[in-house]
Amino acid sequence: MEPSLQRALEGVRDDENLAINLKLSKVCQLLSENGLLYEQHLAPSCLTVHPQSRSGLMLNNAFDVHEKGLLALKMGFQGSKVAESFCFELSSKKEERDKQVGAMRALVTASERKLAPVNGTERFMSVSCSHISQFLKAVGCGQCVTENEELGESFLTVETLEAQFPSDHHFQSMVRNGWQWHCIKSEVEECCPWMPQLLQAALNSGNEISKQSTEMEIALSLAYTYKTSASMENACAVVKAATSLGYVDAISKWVRLYAGGDDFPLVHLLASIQKLFNSSHFLGEEFMGSVKPSPSLAGHGKPAVEEKQEVKMDDVKPSTSMAGNVKPAVEEKEEMKMGGVKPSPNTDGGKKTSVDH
C-alpha cells in the first residue's frame, strides 16, 4: 500500500466530524479506487469469521448463530438484507494465516458441534453478516447439532429446513450458492490493522436481525478502540455511533476507572465468562453508573488508563483498628506457654467469647 493512501485512510479514521457510516463510505471509495476492494460471489463454506470481529469475541455464541438464523427464516431471507456483506482475504503470510484459521478452529471446538468445522477451503474472514454466514455454513455441512427446538430435528440439515420453510427460495439459494460479498485484500489489514474493527462497527450498526450488543461487548469495543486511538473520548464516540444502547457513557466510565489498566484485563475476563455461559443479560444503566471504588481506596482512585500506581512496602501500615494489637511473630510466640495462652486484650480478661471450641 502506498504511504499516501495509508495516510488518507488514517485521516478518515481520525476525522471526528464524520459519522461512522460516512467513514465507511469514504474508506470503501479509497480502497476501490486503488484496487484493494472488489466484489465476488462467495459460498458460506469459503468463510471464517475475522478474529477481530465483535472486538475479539468473533461470534457472541453458537446458540445466537442458530437463533439469528431462525429469525432470518421467519422473516424470510432476502438478498437486500445481506447487501453489505464485507470480508477480508486471509493473510498471505503463513504464520498470520495460521493464527486466523486457528482462531476459527478454537471457536468451532468451543461450540460443541454447533458450528461447521474448518474445511481447509476457506479464503476469507467476515466482518459483517458473520452469524448468518456461519448459520448457513452449518446447515450446508450437515454435521451440526442444534438445541433450538424450532429448527426441527437435532441436526441442522438443508432438507429439514427446506421442508419447514418450503417457500423460501432465497434461503435455498444462499445456503447452496452463496451471495455477493465486498472483499478487501489482505495487504489492507497488514498496513491498517485497525481497519476490521472500524468496518465491523459501521456494518453491524444497521443490521436488522442482529441483537443489541451486550454491555461487555460494548466494553470490549471501547477497550479495543481506545487501544487504537489512545483516547477514551474518541472510543466512546465511535462506539456510540455503532450501538443504540443509551448508556455507553456509564460503561465507558467503568472501563476507564475500574477495568485494570491499559490492557483492560477485567473486561476480557468478564467477556470470556459471558461467552462461556452464553449469557446476554444486561445489568442496566443504574448499576453501571453506580459502581464506585471501595471506601478504603478513597483518595487513591485515578483512572486506570491514565496512571499506573506502584505500591511500596513502606507505605503499607496497619489500620487504626488494629493499632496496639500487632506484635512481631517472635514476640507473640514467647507469650504462648504449654500451660495456656495469654488472654487477648479483646477477650475481656479471659471471659468466654461467642465461639466455643
Task: Give mean pLDDT, residues 45-66.
Answer: 85
Integer Rg of the chain from CA:
27
Does residue 47 surpass a pLDDT of 90?
yes
CB atoms within 10 A of CB 282: 14
DSSP β-ladder status, 336-337 and 340-341: antiparallel
**Rounded mean pLDDT of the chain?**
76
Of 24-33, 95-104, 262-271, the range with the lowest mean pLDDT is 262-271
pLDDT of res. 245: 77
Most confident residue range from 104-108, 109-113, 253-257: 104-108
Q: What are 139-177's pLDDT values in tens digits?
A: 998 888 887 777 766 778 888 888 888 877 888 889 888
Residue written as grid cell 467477556: 271
More confident residue, 225 or 232: 232
Do 116 and 140 meet the contact criterion of CB atoms below 8 Å apart? yes
DSSP-derived 3-state class of residue 275: helix
Mean pLDDT check: name the lowest of 15-24, 200-209, 261-270.
Answer: 200-209
- Give the distance, in angstroms, between the CA of residue 107 and the centroid of all CA atoms in the same chain: 13
pLDDT at residue 293, as a whole number: 59
Mean pLDDT on 263-291: 74
Lowest mean pLDDT among 260-269, 278-287, 336-345: 336-345
pLDDT band at 205 (very low <50, low <70, confident <90, very high): low
pTM of the predicted structure, to 2 decimals: 0.65
Q: What is the pLDDT of residue 43?
A: 94
| CB-based contact 85:126 (threshold 8 Å) | yes
Please tell me which of 36-45, 157-166, 172-181, 202-211 the model is most confident about, judged by mean pLDDT: 36-45
Going edge to edge, which strands form the sheet with 47-49? 37-42, 179-184, 86-89, 124-126, 47-49
DSSP track, 224-274: HHHHHHS-HHHHHHHHHHH---TTHHHHHHHHHHHS-STT-HHHHHHHHHH
Q: Which residue has the higher pLDDT, 70 or 356?
A: 70
Which of 3-7, 23-27, 122-126, 148-152 comes out lowest in average pLDDT? 148-152
pLDDT recorded at residue 244: 67
Top-confidence residue, 61 or 152: 61
Higher pLDDT, 323 or 140: 140
**pLDDT at residue number 274:** 72
Q: Which long-range contacts (CB under 8 A, 24 or more apart) does 289-296 make?
A: 289/247, 289/250, 289/253, 291/254, 291/258, 293/257, 293/258
Most confident of 53-57, 132-136, 158-162: 132-136
Judged against a pLDDT cut of 50, whether residue 214 lies above it is answered with: yes
Asked whether 66 and 56 are in contact (CB, 8 A), the reply is no
Backbone angles phi, psi at 135, to 5 degrees: -65, -45
Higher pLDDT, 353 or 202: 202
d(CA 128, CA 82): 9
Can you give 155-179 as a three-state secondary structure string?
A: ECCHHHHHHHCCCCHHHHHHHHHCE
Instruction: Give the best-scoring range by mean pLDDT among 105-114, 219-228, 237-246.
Output: 105-114
* DSSP string across 1-45: --HHHHHHHHHHHH-TTS-HHHHHHHHHHHHHHTT-EEEEEE-GG
Give mean pLDDT, residues 72-84.
80
pLDDT score for 147: 78
Instruction: Determine the longest span between alpha carbons in the chain, in angstroms.
Output: 91
Q: Model confidence at 321, in pLDDT bands (50, 70, 90)?
A: very low
Q: Report which of residues 247 and 60 the model is more confident about.
A: 247
Band of pLDDT at residue 279, cut at 50, 70 and 90: low
